[in-house]
Structure formats: C-alpha cells, structure tokens
Amino acid sequence: MITHPSYTVEPWCLRETELNLDVLAQSESVFALSNGHVGWRGNLDEGEPHGLPGAYLNGVYERHPLPYAEAGYGYPESGETMINVTDGKVIRLLVDDHPCDLRYGRLLAHERVLDFRSGVLSRTARWTSPGGRTVRITSHRLVSFTQRAVAAVVYEVEPVDGPTTVAVQSELVANEQLPSIHGDPRVAAATESPLLPEEHFAQHTRLRLVHCTAGSRLRVGTAADHLVEGPESTKWTAHSEPDVSRLTVTADLVPGQPLRLVKFVAHGWSGERSLPAVHDQVDGAVAAAVSTGWDGLVAAQRAYLDRFWAGADVEVEGDAQIQQAVRFALFHVLQAAARGENRAIPAKGLTGTGYDGHSFWDTESYVLPVLTFTAPEAVASALRWRHRTLPAARERARQLGLSGATFPWRTIDGAECSAYWPAGTAAFHVNADIAMAVVRYVMVTGDEEFERAEGLDILVDTARLWRSLGHHDSEGVFHIDGVTGPDEYSAFARDNLYTNLMARHNLLAAADAAVRHPHRAAELGVDDEEAAVWRDAAARMALPYNESLGVHEQSAGFTTFQRWDFEATPPDNYPLLLHYPYFDLYRKQVVKQADLVLAMMECPHAFTEEQKARNFAYYEALTVRDSSLSASCQAVLAAETGHLRLAYAYLGEAALMDLEDLEHNTRDGLHIASLAGTWIALVAGFGGMRRYLGEDGKPGMLSFTPRLPEALSRVAFTVLVRGRRLKVDIGRSRVRYQLVEGGPLDVLHHGELTPLTTDGPVDRPMPPAPERPEPQQPPGRRPVGLPVGEEDRAGTLE
C-alpha cells in the first residue's frame, strides 16, 4: 500500500511530527474539529500562518446572484455559499514583543495529535523567537459532542531558557481575510466581509460579537469566557470593536512557571430570533461550558465517543495504514453529522468551504448508509432536513412543469444552487437517492413513526415526480428521458440505468408505504389508483441492455458511442473536466465516476452474478475516477465479482483520499463521502453486506458474502440493526457472527440462513472467490498501489 510522508501510522490517532508549511491547508482540513453544528478548521492557535482560516456554523450562508451569459426559464437565480463565521479559536502570542509566527525565528519541534477516542486535538511546540528566547507551547482543543454550541481550548506557554515577558491575546475575529481562489469550479465562490456588525462587547474575561449577513439575513453570535492561571504578576485587559473582541493577558514568566489560559467559546445563529435573543443564547451556552469546566467537557467527549465506537468500530489486520484510515474516516463522518439536528451534511462537512459548503446526493448515497448502521439518530436528523425543504422542492417541480417534488442537486437551505443545469437540474436521480435513504433507515432501525410522518411525505412526492417525468411508449415501456445520472461526463441521457432502477425502487417503496399507512396516505391524496399507476410504471421500467455485448447500457445507446481516446490523453489532463469541453465528454464512452457500477451496488437483485461480472469488466475500462465518489463502489463490485486484489487497491484509494491528498484539493476540506466509502469498501465490499429482499420484494434480513484479499488477515466490524448490536469477524477461512446485544436475529451467510442469539457466536466457513480474468482500467488510470503486469496477480499489494 502507498505510504504518507507527513503522518505516522497509529491505530487510534493521527499524529503529525513536524510542521510542513507547504501543506498547511491540507493539515488544517485533516485536523479539523466539528460536531455537525460547529466546525473549526485545524488552524494553528496563533492564527497565522494559515492556509484557509475557518470557523463554520451548519446552515449559515450568504446568498449571491448566479451569473448567466444568457438567461433562461427555470435557471436558478441565486446561490448559497457557506461563510466563515466569527473565529473563536485564535490565541495570539507575543514573546518579548515578538509575535509568535512560525515562519520567523526557529521552530525546534512541533507535533499535533488528533485522538479519535477522546475527540481532542493536542499540540506541542518549541519555538525560539527572533530575539533568541525559547518557549514551550502546549494546547488542547475540542468541539463538544455533548454541548453542541461549545468549543474550548487550553493554551499554555512556558519559557525554556530564561525569564520572559509574554502577552497572550485571545480573540473573537469576524470577517477574517481569506486567500484568493483559483479557477477550479469545485472551489467556493469568494464572499468578502459577509458579516455586518451589530454588537461588540468585552469585559473582564468575557467577550462577545454579534453580526448579521447582508443577503440571507442570518444573525450570528459568538461569546467566550476564560480562566487564567499564572504568576501573581499576571494581568489582563479586555477590548472590543465591531469585528474583534480581545482579551490580552500579560505575565512575566520564568522556566517552570507557565501561563495557562482556558478558553470556552459558544456559537449560535438564527434567521428569526432578535439580537437580544442571540446575545443571550451564546452567553448562556458559554456559561454552561464554564460550569462544566474543561475536564468535564473532556470526560463527556470521551464517554460519547466510547458509545459510538462500541457500535461502529472496524478492526483491520494486515494493513496498519488502512486500520488508521478507517477510524479517521469514521471519526470525521461522525463529526460531520452528530449534532447537525435537522440540517444538511455538506460534502466537505464543516472542514472547509469546498463546493461552497453545499450538500449533494453524496450524503444520502454514501454518508447516510454508514450512519444508518452506526449512528442512526444522525440519519433521522439529516432526512428531517430534507423533509423541511419539501416546500421548496415542490415549488421547483412546479417550475419545471412536473408533479411532486424535485430536490436540488446542490444546496444549503433547500434552493437549487447549481448554475450548470445539465449536471444540476437534469440530475433527477437525487430524488430517488433520498427515497432510498428513507427506506434504508426505516428497514434498519424499524422507526415506523418516521416512515408514517416524514418518510411517507418524501416517498409520495418523489414517486409523483417519477410518474410525471417519465412516460410509457407505444409498447407500454416506461422511459425517463433527458436526465443526467451519477456520471457527470454523460448528460441528457435516455433511460440512465441507475436513475431508472432507483426510480423503480422509489415507486414501489412509495406504494408499499402507502399500504402500511393508509390513513396518512389518504391525507396526502394517495388512492389505490395512484399506487397502481406507480407499480405499473415500476413493472414496465426500461432497463437498457446490449444483447450483442452482453452488458447493460449505462443509458440507452451508450455502448454505441465512440470510445474516448485514452491513449492520447496525457496524465496531466485529468480530471478531464478541467481540460476538455463537456460537449466532447458527453458524446463519448468515458465515465467520470461509477454509474452503472453504483447501480449494481444499490440494486443488486436487478442483476445476475454473470451480468455483474460482465458489466463490471466493461465499465472498468471506461471509468477514469475523476470523482472521489468512484473508488469505494468500484471496490465493492470488484470484491463481489472476485477481484479481491483490485478491490483492495480501490479501498486504499478511498481511504487515503485526504491523508494522501490524492486529488490535490484536500486544502478546501475533506471528502466526507470518500471517507464514508472507506467503511463501505470494507463492510459492503469485503464483508459483502447487503440488504436482502424477500420473494415479495419487501426488505428482509441482512445478507453477507465475506471474502478477504491476500493482504488482509482479518476484518471485523460492528453494525446496529433494529436495536441489536451485531459483530461480524472475518478471518482467512471462517467468519464469526456474534450478536452482542438484542433479541434473536437471522442473517444470510453466502445464501445460507444463519440464526443468531446472544447465547454465543456462530462460525461459518468462507468459500473461495470465483476466478475471473482481472478487468483493465483506461491507460494511466489504474488505482494507486495496484501492481502492473500479470505475473503478480496472486501477490500482495506493495
């Protein structure tokens, strides 16, 4: 497997042993702390140097107009961009009047550690100022999972080589200067000074700023309080102005006598509450944090994470880097969602402003599957956010001349924010992705009340969309024309297979849910005739298939297109979207990210095993993985079709997307869906976990078809299913199923019914993988770490 030069490989933490200013922005993303409500990038405590300063509140954004060369009916008129809110983590340091800026003087040592079990980011440094005085700096930082508005920092400075006068400036800073952006469309739109000042305050050890956004009219408040420990000579003063509120602490120190500052910060916002209400909200939250104290916050953080890891941990033997990476991934997926509380989960979480802080279909298709089996309460929250945006989705459908609801491709607060409508408006599959997330959540948790209320609303409105979007031809076949599937290098397609299969699932799920909840369905105007129409459309859904090639088509006619000239494409011209016009991409056989392969993962019962093998091989040769969403589902299908070595390589690519900065844009924030894909590749790939469908098509038990690649000797994972905790432990030749908690549970092991109870584990043998020729990737697009050549087919990845 590939190795990373900056971080050590440890099972339960990420450790950076030296500071590399060239990759500072990347490290700020990987060391970011969040709870789904508040996000702090992993900036240095002193504020500078930085790559991208960042403090974020989920749901806080500014509106901006979307430019068009030519206007058109139905084009979204405005966008939403997540903004950098008031930054409460800045603690500047002066040593004998020299600012502590690590670009100057001499940095003798620097280490940062992100502990996945405690949820605390720790830092130690030894720095010699330009004036020749050396100090030791220690800090600990957390964003609380238990007090959602609260973050806290302990900052300590101590002289090493003689008496020193220090000044520590603890600040709240609004409208921080941000670096200029470049031409990559995946980077956020610039929003300068988005916060308009309304109140500033500083008294004794307490600070507060309140601002309001100009366009979205969201009021943002931040408050801080401090505990100061130092020699008797320690003094402090407080000062505020519209964009800065500051506590300055000064002390004369000698070796062995540190100055210690504990800073408690509370963030809050509202689109409706008054200035006094937001003022009181953050003051109250920071007062509660002070009452809890630093030690209390740390203890509560550890207890929260202990509960999470008990139901979510994945153990990997044979590759220490993957072991670290999957825990890093799960920790950040949790951080992105834990306290979102009916808000979106952005594609970058709250780790950076990439993609303007928007939420995409990535959430429902990659992030929510992981959380459904590990932290289901966060899934209910994310789906309630979608439900809250139903009025906007219904209005968008009416604008497009459709029935039901059309959910946005990218958004923060529910409005479509994509100015590029071929990839935005036409990507209707997002509606079925959301419906699938509803069905998955209800099946795994048994939350019938959610299905009866929010879930049925979503299922009915999305089913109505598909029936109005598609049509029956003269032979009765149901077609969905002019859509863009997951592969954004194909647009305006007829009968995109992924879209059609997901729409079929959506239509049947809505009809079935209406039967289970007849009174609620009647309230929504669903009658037997409408449900029958949905079932008929599902039964007659077009599923393109090329008989001569023996493969399914990604969309009707796709296999007849000219193949992209991969041999003539230089390696530096990837991703293709930055070097070639979409017009050229749309009319060629080239796949940005898994599309039909994703369909086989999401709708496995629509394909035979042989069809999966042929389809996977055919599309593997066309898929260039210009999206971080691709590797994990390619890993799943590679494992299912017997290509375990290839699956292992794709696992590594998904797992190390950010730790290795494989797409060279981790500086803008983490790829939360790719991190979730690490779990998917291990659990759905090597664990073979699927949601089994019974003969009547209704959800049934979980199914497992586990197999391991040569490089791994053991993979064990825990999932939560209907109040039960199930551990699956996969070895080289056997699998152990252990029901740790809950009532009896039936699962399938390679098609064999396996009843489980808490009386003891059940072992089952692991059959060998089928032997098939390894499929080939486009020239130059083999996954990182996959050896070249047939001679090492049976070997372990280096």
Q: For 582-723, list the strands marked E by DSSP.
A: 588-589, 690-693, 699-704, 714-721
Report helix, strand or coil for 665.
coil
List the 762-765 sheet strands across, edge first.
Answer: 314-317, 714-721, 724-730, 734-741, 762-765
Q: What is the DSSP string of 695-739?
A: TTS-EEEEEE-----TT-SEEEEEEEETTEEEEEEE-SSEEEEEE
Residue 503: phi and psi, rounded to 5, are -65, -40
Whether the CB-CB separation of 314 and 326 falls below 8 Å is answered with yes
* Burial track 628-666 (b if 16+ CB lie within 10 A, e otherwise): bbbbbbbbbbbbbbbbbbbbbbbbbbbbbbbbbbbbebb
Q: Which of 140, 160, 194, 193 is nearest to 31 (CA)?
A: 140
Q: Are 744 and 757 in contact (CB under 8 A)?
A: yes
Burial 344-369 (b: 16+ CB within 10 A, else e): bbbbbbbbbbbbbbbbbbbbbbbbbb
Q: How many residues does the chain have?
A: 798
Task: Look at the block and give the residue holding tokens 């489980």.
Answer: 756
Q: Report the DSSP pairing between strands 562-563 and 588-589.
A: parallel
Q: How far apart are CA 699 and CA 697, in angstroms?
A: 7
CA torsion, ordered 12, 13, 14, 16, to nearest 10 deg? -130
DSSP state for residue 780 in the 8-state scheme: T
- Hey, which residues are catalytic here? 488
Distance separating alpha carbons of residues 164 and 160, to the nearest angstrom: 9
418: tokens are 């994509």
